[in-house]
Amino acid sequence: MALITWNPWWLLGVPISGPLGAAGHHIFRDGGISLRESTSSPEVVWFVSRMLWRILRGTYPSDIARARERLEALRAAPPAT
């Protein structure tokens, strides 16, 4: 985005996204997050940015519902042999 808009403020998202995601996990009591990974992994930057975009667009609740439906379908499916 920084290159597309020629706005260097977008670059702040890189160092902020990991701690922001870790804070979200802490606030919502999801202990399955590694603080080291959340502040150093490039994949986390992409994931947190994508999740923030979904939250801002208002599609995140429907994404959760769809994921739960898929999980239940997988649990109900017979095991592969």
For residue 59, the model assigns a pLDDT of 92
Number of folded domains that form the chain: 1
Q: Domain range holding 51?
A: 32-76
Which run of H or of E encompasses 59? none
- If one compares 29 and 68, the residue with the highest pLDDT of the two is 68
In this prediction, residue 62 carries a pLDDT of 92
42 domain residue, yes or no:
yes
Is the whole-model pTM more than 0.85?
Answer: no
Residue 57 lies in a domain: yes
Quick check: is 69 in a domain? Answer: yes
Do the domain assignments include residue 22? no
- The answer as to whether 12 is a domain residue is no
Q: Which residue is listed with tokens 């599609």?
A: 59
Q: Is 4 exposed, middle or buried (0-12, 13-18, 19+ CB in 10 A)?
A: exposed
Domain assignment present for residue 20? The answer is: no
The predicted-structure confidence for 3-57, as pLDDT tens digits, reads as follows 888 888 888 877 777 777 777 777 777 666 666 666 666 777 777 778 888 888 9
